[in-house]
Amino acid sequence: MSWEEIVGALLLGWRMTLTLAGIAMVLAFLGGTVIAILRVSPIPIFRAIGTTYVELVRNTPLTVLFFFAVFLSPHLGIKATFFQAAVFALTAYNFCQFSEAVRSGLNAVPKGQSEASRALGMTTMQMLLSVIIPQAIRAMIPPLASGIVIVVKGSSVAGVFGVVELINSMNNLSGLYGEKVIQILVVVVLLFLAVNLPIGFFSNFMERRLKMVR
Amino acid sequence: MSAESWLMDAPGPKARRRTRIGTGIGVVLLLGFVWYAYQALEARGQLNPKIWSVWLMPEVQRIVLEGLKATLSAAGMAVLLSVILGGVLTAMRMSKYRALQWIAIGWTNFFRGVPTLVCIFAIYLSFPSLGIEISVYWALVLGELLYAGALFAEIFRAGIDAVPKGQKEAATALGISSAQIFIQVVMPQAFRWMLPLLINQVVMTLKETSLGFVIGYGELLREGRRVVEYLGAGYATPMYVMVGLTYITINVLLSVIARYVERRTRSRGTTTKVMKGHKTPAEISVPVDV
């Protein structure tokens, strides 16, 4: 293989990584919002369910979750491809991160806002939709960005569990073309930085704007 | 634990009734889920006591314990070295030489953008071609500490920033030297503030040692898998649940110890109140990503 072909193979893996991360990110955000709602709910049992889930999954490594998804799903009768298992593990793991992001965003809104809304006679739903959530979004952005970076970095674990993505390609190619190992690694690192650095800078930028508002 | 105070007013009769209905629905859903899971597991023989008896087998326990020791050893070394590295990076960040500042900032941004697995592979694959022999243990530890060091540096920086400026100003007014100010005034307060974040990072590092199984380090997860490979795939469920529970137990234990230490080191009297200008860790978004 020529160098161009090697880079081409890496880029194919990269596309898979981004696809995996993209799907997991969206699902994790949706699920995380659900869990955040559970955790702030006035009904104690919902809070308990949400908190239990978060505490259990937060203390488990991502690799263990991948093991569950890949090796235990046949035992539960669930037939899933490697890719589906990877999406499941990545999503389930990041529910916690995104739920914390949503929750901290909601909590960052000054209490006076909700008090004023109630004084004006708004229902809880009206208060949430018109007052709280729009203000919460700005505060949510740094931890959400952080969550996105975590999802992208976590997708690299999928390479070990049968998903042909960037890390997987990197290993195979390094095995075949040992003398080019360092160049391959440089390309891989650059690809990850190309995605994660802009997200980081954007997050810092939004954080500074948030501080100015306060 | 009560719901956030901004969301609800004190519940009136309608709210109380809704809460009761909601609780009823929640309990029904929960029991339904448990029932369904039980059925699914039972139907596939996953609840067969024979396979779960593997928890009691002494060889299995020994192997898992070996794996746990390996995990803790790698994690401990990684945490130790990354705390040191974090301290160095923080010092660089706060120094007056721009170049050092930039190196520290660059380091943090760089290693937060690269997955830890890539770092570990990079070290493991590239060192031999540079002529340096490296064991899986050190590839794992070094791979982890590149990133963890940067995270600790961020935590240290946030902790030092969180100490109200008035403290330093008062100390300077009292004629205490800079070094003394740092050691006796800033550090104790910063440490107490940082403790939850530090423990969080230790837990993260511990979880990351599970990546060692990818390069063949005999840590907890890998030993669990070895047992499954040896005994047969039917034993997968109890073994991996065992591994998962072990991780959860250790990490929860760490958090509990941290909370205990925090309570013990908190001073009594009026200073237990958050001082004016002192931000709580929750308000400062120190990125605690994996």
Convert the pLDDT of each residue in A60-90 to its tens digit. Answer: 999 999 988 888 887 777 788 888 889 999 9
φ and ψ at A116, to 5 degrees?
A: -65, -40
Percent of chain A scoring above 90 in pLDDT: 27
Residue B16 has pLDDT above 80, yes or no: yes
CA distance B134 to B237: 34
Residues 66-85 of A with CB under 8 A from B: 67-68, 71-72, 75-77
Smallest Cα distance from B139 to chain A, Å: 15
Nearest to A132 by CA among B119, B6, B227: B6
DSSP A60: S
Smallest Cα distance from B183 to chain A, Å: 30
| pLDDT confidence bin for B153, thresholds 50/70/90 | very high
Residue B290 has pLDDT above 70, yes or no: no
Q: Are B23 and A45 in contact (CB under 8 A)?
A: yes
* Predicted ipTM > 0.90: no
Residue B42 has pLDDT above 90, yes or no: no
Percent of chain B scoring above 90 in pLDDT: 22
Residue B288 has pLDDT above 80, yes or no: no
Instruction: Report chain A residues whose CB lies below 8 A from the CB of B127.
Output: none
Average pLDDT over residues A154-171: 87
Q: Tell me which of B97 and A210 has the higher pLDDT.
A: B97
Q: Are A154 and A164 in contact (CB under 8 A)?
A: no
* A63/B252 touch (CB, cutoff 8 Å), yes or no: no
> Which of A40, A174, A188 is closest, CB to CB, to B7?
A40
Q: What pLDDT sits at residue A125?
A: 80
- Tokens of residue A111, six digits: 């209490």
CA distance B146 to B86: 10
Residue A48 has pLDDT above 60, yes or no: yes
Residue A26 has pLDDT above 70, yes or no: yes
Instruction: Report chain B residues whose CB lies below 8 A from the CB of A63.
Output: 210-211, 213-214, 221
> Which of A115, A189, A200 is closest, CB to CB, to B112?
A200
CA B58 distance to own-chain centroid: 30
| pLDDT confidence bin for B52, thresholds 50/70/90 | confident
Q: Does A124 touch chain B (CB under 8 A)?
A: yes
At which residue do the structure tokens 């007013």 appear?
A: B9
Q: What pLDDT sits at residue B175?
A: 79
For B53-78, how does the pLDDT look when each residue is reduced to its tens digit (9 = 90+)?
A: 888 888 888 888 989 999 999 999 99
For A111-140, how does the pLDDT look when each residue is reduced to its tens digit (9 = 90+)?
A: 888 888 888 888 878 888 888 888 888 888
| pLDDT confidence bin for B267, thresholds 50/70/90 | low
CA distance B146 to B158: 19
Average pLDDT over residues A7-20: 90
In total, the C-beta contacts within 8 angstroms joining chain A to chain B are: 177
Residues 157-196 of A with CB under 8 A from B: 157, 159-160, 167, 170-171, 174, 178-179, 181-182, 185, 188-189, 192-193, 195-196
φ and ψ at B177, to 5 degrees?
A: -70, 160
